[in-house]
Structure 1
Amino acid sequence: MKFPKAHTLKQIAHLISTEYIGADDFPVLGMNEIHVVESGDIVFVDHPKYYGKALESAATIVLINKKVDCPEGKALLISDDPFRDFNKLTLHFKPFQSSDSAISQTVKIGKNTIIQPNCFIGNNVVIGDNCIIHSNVSIYDDTIIGDNVTIHAGTVLGASAFYYKNRTEGYDQLKSGGRVIIENNVDLGALCTIDKGVTGNTIIGEGSKLDNQIQVGHDTRIGKKCLIASQVGIAGCVIIEDEVTIWGQVGITSGITIGTKAIISAKAGVSKSLEGYKSYFGVPADDFRSKYKEIAAIRKIPEILEKLKNL
């Protein structure tokens, strides 16, 4: 998430009441999670296990809960609670804006696009040409929808990320300031839920087709011409490359990559990255050849046990 204008390290430190290490005028251009940071961004880290990863990332400002040596060319914001202060920055630069109408006055809707009754369309949404948005669809603020997109009834675009810190008093949510982007020629079935990014974008790539009742987590990127069947659940920060096929009720864990033209059979549980141009099934999901060998081996267990008894 880029700020509307550049800020200085001193200004950001003042906003969240923290100490800082670096020049007063050190430039701060935005804030992002570690998997999408760029030069000029703030990244936060609150666990020693990940200090190195944050300090060595592309981010040039690190919001951290310990005074450490500052890498050359970077700056530090020293906070007793980086998670809390990252939320403060999100709420400052991307505050919640309430709506006073079902379709915001700031919406941009393209030519020949049809919006059916009872839809909610939030602030600063952009919808392209020749789209059909069926009834009871909710499109949260800042969502971008391309041309020739069909969205069926009850789908929700832009809900907050399922991202929580466990505190003594209860779960504390990391605030979401990102967007959902639906590219051209995408079809979304009924009752799909696509969460916005925490600071970046959740993207459904051009020409992809999603069936009913699919969950897509925050900051996930689905490539071009993917087919995803009903009741698939995709966690946050997943990369699904082009022309992937995912059949019904597959579950996919966070932070992994599914390679180009992979095919995942129904009810598979994907717990690690999968190479492209292969077919997978099972829990945990593996390629067909490996999985069939595993099944064949399991079927031999009774025979092996019987032989052991007779020794």
Structure 2
Amino acid sequence: MKLYRTHSLKEIADIIGCRFIGNEDHEVTGINEIHQVESGDLVFVDHKKYYSKSLESAATTILIDKEVECPEGKGLIISEKPFDDYNKLTRHFMPFKPQTNVVGENTIVDPSAIIYPKVFIGHNCSIGKGVILYPGVIIGDNCILEEGVTVGGNSVIGHYAFYYKKKDTGYDRMHSCGGVHLHKNVEVGALSTIDAGVSGMTTIGEGTKIDNQVHIGHDTVVGKGCLMAANVGIAGCVTIEDNVTLWGQVGVVSDVVIGAGATVYGQSGVGKNLDPGKSYLGSPCDEARLKFRELAAIKRLPEMLEKG
């Protein structure tokens, strides 16, 4: 999420009542979670396991729960509860805004778009030329649908991210202030869901086709020309490169990369990075040629045991 203007380190620290380390005029231009940070962004970290990743990331301001040496050119904000203070900042700069109209504020819908009855479009959206939204579609805040996009009936694009912190009082949800970007000629089937980014964009590349009842988690980036069959489930923060095919009921864990041109056969479970251009099978999945050999060997086990 980019801020509406550049803020100083001191200004940001004052909003949440925390002390800071670094030049008080150090610039903060955005707020983002670790998977999508860039220079100028603020990121939070509240576990020592991720201190180095955050401090060495592209983020130039780190909201952290321990005083550490401040890297050159960066600023630190010291907080007892970084998760809570991060939520305070995102709610400050992009508060939840209830909506009663079917089209939100600051939303642009191209005159050529076909919007069926019972479609709901949130705030700060862009609906491009020739877009078709079938009945019951919900487009959440901050979404971009480029030219030629089609979304099937009762699908939800831009629901808030499934991102929670467990506390003694229960689960506390991170406030979502990102969106979804569907590039040109993307098709999404009926009853599918694509969650908004936590503070950035969940992105679906040009020409990708998504079947019915598919789920894609927050901040996932899908490349061009991909194909996903029904009941595929993709966790948050996954990178799927161009021309990947995921057949029915494939499941993908968070924070993995599926290389360009890979094919994953039905009901497989992806739990690690997959190389480009290969075919995969099984749960946990491996190269299909190896899995087929395993299956053939297993089929022979009863006979081998009888002979043994």
TM range, normalised to the smaller chain?
A: over 0.9
Find out whether 1:178 has 2:159 as its counterpart.
Answer: no
For residue 111 of structure 1, report the CA deviation from its aligned partner: 3.6
Structure 2 match to 1:3: 3
Runs of 4+ in 1 over 6 A off after TM superposition: none
Find out whether 1:80 has 2:73 as its counterpart.
Answer: no
Q: Secondary structure of the residue that 2:293 maps to in structure 1?
A: helix
Structure 2 match to 1:236: 236
For residue 15 of structure 1, report the CA deviation from its aligned partner: 0.5
**For the residues of structure 2 that align with 1:34 and 1:304, how far apart are their CA atoms?**
52
Deviations 1:232-278 (A, max 9, x none): 10000011111111111111000011111111111111111111111
Q: Given residue 279 of structure 1, which amino acid in structure 2 is its aligned partner?
A: S
How many residues of Structure 1 are paired with residues of Structure 2 in the alignment? 308
Moved more, 33-42 or 86-95: 33-42
Q: Secondary structure of the residue that 2:84 maps to in structure 1?
A: helix
Structure 2 match to 1:295: 295
Q: Secondary structure of the residue that 1:272 maps to in structure 2?
A: coil
Aligned residue runs from structure 1 range 98-247, under 5 A:
98-247=98-247
Structure 2 match to 1:270: 270
Deviations 1:273-303 (A, max 9, x none): 1111111111111111121232244345556
Deviations 1:36-76 (A, max 9, x none): 21111111111111111111111111111011111111111
| TM-score normalised by length of structure 1 | 0.95
Unaligned runs of 5+ in 1: none
User: What is the root-mean-square deviation in Å for CA atoms of aligned residues?
Assistant: 1.4
Q: Percent of counterpart pairs with the same letter?
A: 52
**For the residues of structure 2 that align with 1:41 and 1:16, how far apart are their CA atoms?**
16
Unaligned runs of 5+ in 2: none
For residue 103 of structure 1, report the CA deviation from its aligned partner: 1.8
For residue 100 of structure 1, report the CA deviation from its aligned partner: 2.5
User: Does the C-alpha gap of structure 1 residues 304 and 18 become closer, same or farther in structure 2, counting only changes over 3 Å?
Assistant: farther
**For the residues of structure 2 that align with 1:26 and 1:18, how far apart are their CA atoms?**
15
Q: Given residue 262 of structure 2, which amino acid in structure 1 is its aligned partner?
A: A
Q: Secondary structure of the residue that 1:15 maps to in structure 2?
A: helix
Q: Secondary structure of the residue that 1:158 maps to in structure 2?
A: strand
**For the residues of structure 2 that align with 1:228 and 1:206, how far apart are their CA atoms?**
14
Q: Secondary structure of the residue that 1:135 maps to in structure 2?
A: coil
Q: Given residue 19 of structure 2, which amino acid in structure 1 is its aligned partner?
A: E
**For the residues of structure 2 that align with 1:200 and 1:124, how far apart are their CA atoms?**
14
Q: Given residue 213 of structure 1, which amino acid in structure 2 is its aligned partner?
A: Q
Q: Given residue 221 of structure 2, which amino acid in structure 1 is its aligned partner?
A: R
For residue 306 of structure 1, report the CA deviation from its aligned partner: 5.6
**For the residues of structure 2 that align with 1:72 and 1:53, how far apart are their CA atoms?**
15
For residue 155 of structure 1, report the CA deviation from its aligned partner: 0.6
Moved more, 99-108 or 48-57: 99-108
**For the residues of structure 1 that align with 2:306 and 2:76, how far apart are their CA atoms?**
65
Find out whether 1:47 has 2:47 as its counterpart.
Answer: yes
**For the residues of structure 2 that align with 1:142 and 1:15, how far apart are their CA atoms?**
24
**For the residues of structure 2 that align with 1:104 and 1:160, how far apart are their CA atoms?**
16
Deviations 1:73-119 (A, max 9, x none): 11110000101111111101111111121123532111421100111
**For the residues of structure 2 that align with 1:39 and 1:130, how far apart are their CA atoms?**
35
Q: Secondary structure of the residue that 1:69 maps to in structure 2?
A: coil
Deviations 1:155-210 (A, max 9, x none): 10111111111111101111111110011111110011000000111011110111
Find out whether 1:26 has 2:21 as its counterpart.
Answer: no
